Amino acid sequence: MTEYQKPVPIPNEDTKPFWDSLREHKLVIQKCSQCGQFRFPPRVICPYCMSLHSRWVEVKGKGKIYSFTVVHYAYTPAYRDALPYVVAIIELEEGIRLVTNIVGCKPEEVQIGMDVEITFEDVTPEFTLHKFQPASKT
């Protein structure tokens, strides 16, 4: 098996619960215990009320594509085989935006405003990444 070449995070005290949950195929977002605002990426203090107290809340992983780009160049050689790939900003139903990849459809089918849902990709034994795909019709 070839070694995973793409960048992986370096978790710290503030971000470890996020990565641990992804490994269990759960998306958790930090929520301020004082004012109730979600925040991302994880950090020690609430930028709305400066409270140092927060908890981790599992979210549904549903949202819309806020914007996206189809990438045609490899910033590091590790992405060469992945080209072209889609980087997108998703706006979750909870109001948080995060960076992800769109999978499960062709790059030319991706559109701003498209409904998407989370899927998980176990990239190494330690790390799982969230990815998003077109929402299933319900």
Partner 1 sequence: MNRLRAKCAIVGVGETKVGYVPGVTIMSHNLQASQKAIEDAGLSNKDIDAVLTRKPARDPTLCYSLQIAENLGISPKCTTDLDTCGTTPVTMVINAVIAISTGLCRAVLCTIGMDDNQSLKQQIPKHGQLNYGSEDFEYPWGFIGAPMAFAMAARRHMHLYGTTSEQLGAIAVAMRKHACMNSNAQMHKPITLQDYLASPLFAEPFRLLDCSLVSDGGGAVVITSAEMAKHLRKPPIYILGLGQHNFAHSYFGPLEVITPFKKAADEAYHMAAVSPGDVDVAEIYDCFTHSVLVQLEDLGFCKKGEGGSFVEGGRIELGGELPINTHGGLLSQAHIVGMLHITEAAHQLWKESGERQVKNVEVALVTGLGIRQAPFGTTGVLILGKEAS
Contact residues for partner 1, defined by CB under 8 A = 6-11, 15, 39-41, 47-48, 66-73, 75-76, 79, 82, 85, 87-89, 96-101, 112, 123, 127, 129
Nearer to partner 1, 98 or 135 (CB): 98
Least distance to partner 1 from the beta carbon of 137, Å? 24
Least distance to partner 1 from the beta carbon of 93, Å? 16
Least distance to partner 1 from the beta carbon of 72, Å? 5
Rounded Cα distance between 20 and 105, Å, is 28
Least distance to partner 1 from the beta carbon of 71, Å? 5
Nearer to partner 1, 100 or 138 (CB): 100
Secondary structure of the chain as H, E, C letters: CCCCCCCCCCCCCCCHHHHHHHHCCCCEEEEECCCCCEECCCCCCCCCCCCCCEEEEECCCEEEEEEEEEECCCCCHHHHHHCCEEEEEEEECCCCEEEEEECCCCHHHCCCCCEEEEEEEECCCCCEEEEEEECCCC
Nearer to partner 1, 8 or 138 (CB): 8
Nearer to partner 1, 46 or 137 (CB): 46
